[in-house]
A = this chain, B = another copy of it.
Amino acid sequence: MNISIIGASGYSGAELIRLLLQHPEANITAIYSNSQAGKAIQDVYPHLNHIFTEQLETIDCAKIQAEADVVFIATPSGVSSKLTPALLNGKIRIIDVSGDLRLETPELYKEWYGKEPITQNYLDQAVYGLSEWSAAAIADAKLLANPGCYPTATLLSLLPLLNEGLIDGKSIIVDAKSGVTGAGRGASLGTHFCEVNESIAAYKVGKHQHTPEIEQTLRKLTGRDALISFTPHLVPMNRGILATSYATLAEGVTTEQVAAAFSKAYEGKPFVRLRPGAYPKTKEVTGSNYCDIAWHIDGRVGRIVLLSVIDNVVKGAAGQAVQNMNIMFGLPETTGLAFTPVYP
């Protein structure tokens, strides 16, 4: 497969390079970044010295269409909506790691992202690529909306229970914690080492753009209602997301029913590890495409607490994108992704 990467100078782009270099079927033919065009990638990312030494180019949709079987778009939001119309025709398949194609309507996008949306017809074509839940649709997708980092961790833990009607979809509270790579590589006071280190804080309470992505996916994939409180936090670490989710259990739900719902959902799914009663650390999935899920039933208050950890740059971005590429091209899901986490 010939592959182009747009936005290769960001953290998700660099991780795509890392993963695709070790993918037996992948051949990165070109990398693009308008802000860093003309530089060699190893000057932007010295860890790639001697390994991958291509030059970053200015984005050129015609050239990408001509060369690539698949293009990954790993830009900040607001860019993909402009590139997609020019890229989407002919044989090329698009995997969009930004958020521009995830929400179901332009109105919703505008409300939560505060940017100009792409038109409805593209949103209608885009397949939401939560690998473990939509493999059939993903296999046929020409335009794939790769899920957000927080939604991936959150949805994988909530879906099995909501799907089986074991929890009340309107009681859900998601308290999520992310490493700083989630904020991207752009320099700002908010990502300055001294401002983040030795501290934790919430941000965008009630306003984060991943909120409607989680809600619409819960509804769509389960056919049940869902309305959530979602609070993201910034943690002084590079990689990792922990989503701690709370939901009221339906009347009479047993421990066995909960376990059965998870087993049913993830039987044979190579990247979900069920760890009932455990306290997964984000570190236990670092560098890998795993999502580890634990649950704790608190009978005293009638709620279940779900703990779901991923590496936000891998399963939350580049890794799931490669997993989706594998599905789209008929390869085993684990091709190029069978990494052991790097611990500690």
Contact = CB atoms under 8 A, between A and B. Distances in A.
Interface of A: 11, 14, 17-18, 21-22, 45-52, 173, 175, 177, 179-181, 185, 187-189, 191-203, 205-206, 227-229, 231, 233, 235-240, 242, 244, 246, 273, 275, 278-288, 290, 292, 296-298, 300-301, 303, 305, 307, 309, 338-344
B296 A205 contact: yes
A198 B240 contact: yes
Per CB-CB distance, the 6 closest pairs between chain A and chain B, nearest first, are: A199-B283, A206-B298, A175-B175, A205-B296, A47-B284, A201-B281
Contacts of A228: 301
Contact of A185 (B52, B192, B301, B307): B192
A98 B227 CA distance: 40
Contacts of A206: 296-298, 300-301, 305
A197 B238 contact: yes
Contact of A11 (B194, B196, B233, B238): B194
B229 A281 contact: no
A45 B343 contact: yes
Nearest to A205: B296
Contact of A198 (B233, B239, B305): B239
Contacts of A51: 340
Contact of A187 (B180, B189, B246, B298): B189
B199 A301 contact: no
B235 A235 contact: yes
B283 A198 contact: yes
Contacts of A47: 283-286, 288, 340-341, 343
A153 to B, nearest CB: 12
A187 B185 contact: no
Contact of A193 (B236, B273, B292): B236
The CB with the most chain B CB atoms within 10 A, among A173, A181, A194, A287, is that of A194
A156 to B, nearest CB: 15
